[in-house]
Amino acid sequence: MSYDAVSYDAAAAALSGATSIIITTHINPDGDGIGSGLALLLALDRPGRRVRFLCPSRVASLYAFLPRFAELTPVTDDAQAAEAEACEVMISCDAGDRERLGSVAKVRHTTLINLDHHVTNTRFGNINLVDETAESSGVVVEGLLRRLGVAVDRTIAECLYTTIVFDTGRFMHSNTTAHTFRWTADLLETGIDASEINRRLTYTRSPKDLAILKLGIECLAIDDDPRLAGIVIPAASIAAVGEPEDWGDLVEIPRSLAGNRVAYLMRESKDGKSVRVSLRSNPPIEIGSVAQAFGGGGHAFAAGCTVVKPLAEAVADVRARLRRQLGQ
Ligand SMILES: [Mn+2]
């Protein structure tokens, strides 16, 4: 039996026997983390079992159309975590390391299942269900549901479809394969309205979101060599517009430049002490190792990190490293 089969079976056994389960995902949850978690909530909830979905930070209202979204409960500090009711099994979706679970990791639990697909996953669970070949964590969830004998119905499919749309960049990223389309086709067979979900995920920008988009374009930094381009946003500019609920895919703006290979988004923190960095690249140039070098993680061609340095210094350091990746 392969390592994967063993961990799928172990996770299925732990969940089948549990009468109390907490589902969670990473800080600043995205379409993959939320979709995976809600799919599990729908699949695992049954009479005689208590299933909760706790989130370590606020969740963008963009996802409010998903079934049972209203049940997402924020646990954002250790005091809340200490008060929260204990569970037998906690299952974390789409988080590469324990720190990404924030205070939720401190809610008492007996077994932790780490369900994920990041290459940089630190195997922090008691059971590690990590499939690096999966396009989204939702794909791993679907494999687990098969082991559990739970059929993917229309509502579960809506959640899983959200995970694949999000993590493949609407079927545009390099992780999109023949498997992706076959897997997604099975979801469509359940009768989901894929175009409506696409609309919900894409055409939902608030005036503030558009102001952020405008700011992103204003802060665009393009070199003579279009292979490297990015956006650097100072804290004062973010304060002037107001922090958005979700930073979305602003990094796709420099990425859309003809000839671009490596794109970045760098946002200065409110206190000016650190910089949040999002990186994207086109194969074969990988930037996962760059994010890791700065203490972050993710995938080979989509990764992120937080650099604890003033903005100018962080920008210089990250750009130098990215230039080296490009062989400059
Ligand atoms: Mn993911």
Give the pLDDT confidence of 77-131 residue by residue, as tens digits.
Answer: 999 999 999 999 999 999 999 999 999 999 999 999 999 999 999 999 999 999 9
Total domains present in the chain: 2
CA of 161 to the centre of ligand 1 (A): 13
CA of 32 to the centre of ligand 1 (A): 5
Confidence of residue 204 (pLDDT cuts 50, 70, 90): confident
User: Could you tell me the CATH number of the domain that includes residue 215?
Assistant: 3.10.310.30
Q: What's the pLDDT tens digit per position in 147-159?
A: 999 999 999 999 9
Among residues 129, 183, 131, 130, the alpha carbon closest in space to that of 157 is found at 183
Q: Which of 202, 229, 251 is a domain's end point? A: 202
Rounded CA separation 58/73 (Å): 9
240-278: b or e for each residue (b if 16 or more CB lie within 10 Å)?
A: eeeebebbbbbbebbbebeebbbbbbbbbeeeeebbbbb
Rounded CA separation 13/183 (Å): 24
**pLDDT score of 1:** 45
CA of 131 to the centre of ligand 1 (A): 11
CA of 91 to the centre of ligand 1 (A): 15
96 and 80 in one domain?
yes
CA of 81 to the centre of ligand 1 (A): 24
CA of 240 to the centre of ligand 1 (A): 31
User: With pLDDT > 90 as the criterion, what percentage of the chain qualifies?
Assistant: 89
**pLDDT score of 2:** 55
Domain coverage including residue 278 = 207-325
93 and 69 in one domain?
yes
Q: Which of 202, 231, 256 is a domain's end point? A: 202
168 and 35 in one domain?
yes
157 and 215 in one domain?
no
216 and 194 in one domain?
no
Residue 91 belongs to what H/E stretch?
strand 87-93
Segment 163-173 mean pLDDT: 95
CA of 225 to the centre of ligand 1 (A): 31
286 and 185 in one domain?
no
Among residues 59, 90, 62, the alpha carbon closest in space to that of 73 is found at 59
CA of 176 to the centre of ligand 1 (A): 13
Sign of CA dihedral 92, 98, 99, 102: positive
* Residue in the block written with tokens 């545009």: 172
CA of 58 to the centre of ligand 1 (A): 18
CA of 31 to the centre of ligand 1 (A): 8
The runs of H, that is alpha helices, within the chain are 3-17, 31-44, 78-83, 137-148, 154-167, 178-188, 194-202, 207-218, 235-241, 252-255, 288-293, 311-325
Average pLDDT, rounded, for the chain: 95
**pLDDT score of 160:** 98
Confidence of residue 206 (pLDDT cuts 50, 70, 90): confident
Instruction: Report the amino acid identity of residue 68.
Output: R
Q: Which of 187, 202, 217 is a domain's end point? A: 202
CA of 311 to the centre of ligand 1 (A): 28
* Backbone torsion region of residue 266, taken as left when φ is above 0, otherwise alpha when ψ lies between -120 and 50, otherwise beta: beta
CA of 172 to the centre of ligand 1 (A): 15
248 and 155 in one domain?
no
Instruction: Report the amino acid identity of residue 125.
Output: G
CA of 229 to the centre of ligand 1 (A): 24
Rounded CA separation 224/203 (Å): 33
Q: Three-state DSSP class for 2?
A: coil
Q: What is the longest distance spanned by two Cα atoms in the chain?
A: 63
198 and 216 in one domain?
no
Q: Three-state DSSP class for 65?
A: coil
Q: What's the pLDDT tens digit per position in 171-188?
A: 999 899 999 999 999 999
Rounded CA separation 98/88 (Å): 18
**pLDDT score of 223:** 82
Q: What's the pLDDT tens digit per position in 242-287?
A: 988 778 789 999 999 999 999 999 999 999 999 999 999 999 999 9
**pLDDT score of 116:** 97
CA of 236 to the centre of ligand 1 (A): 31
Rounded CA separation 320/328 (Å): 9
What are the angstrom distances between the C-alpha of 186 and each of 16, 142, 290? 25, 11, 36
Rounded CA separation 159/155 (Å): 7
**pLDDT score of 3:** 60
Q: What's the pLDDT tens digit per position in 9-30?
A: 999 999 999 999 999 999 999 9
Residue 93 belongs to what H/E stretch?
strand 87-93
Among residues 266, 274, 296, the alpha carbon closest in space to that of 27 is found at 296
83: which 2 tokens? 């008060």
157 and 286 in one domain?
no
Rounded CA separation 265/304 (Å): 9
Segment 41-49 mean pLDDT: 97
CA of 48 to the centre of ligand 1 (A): 31
286 and 178 in one domain?
no
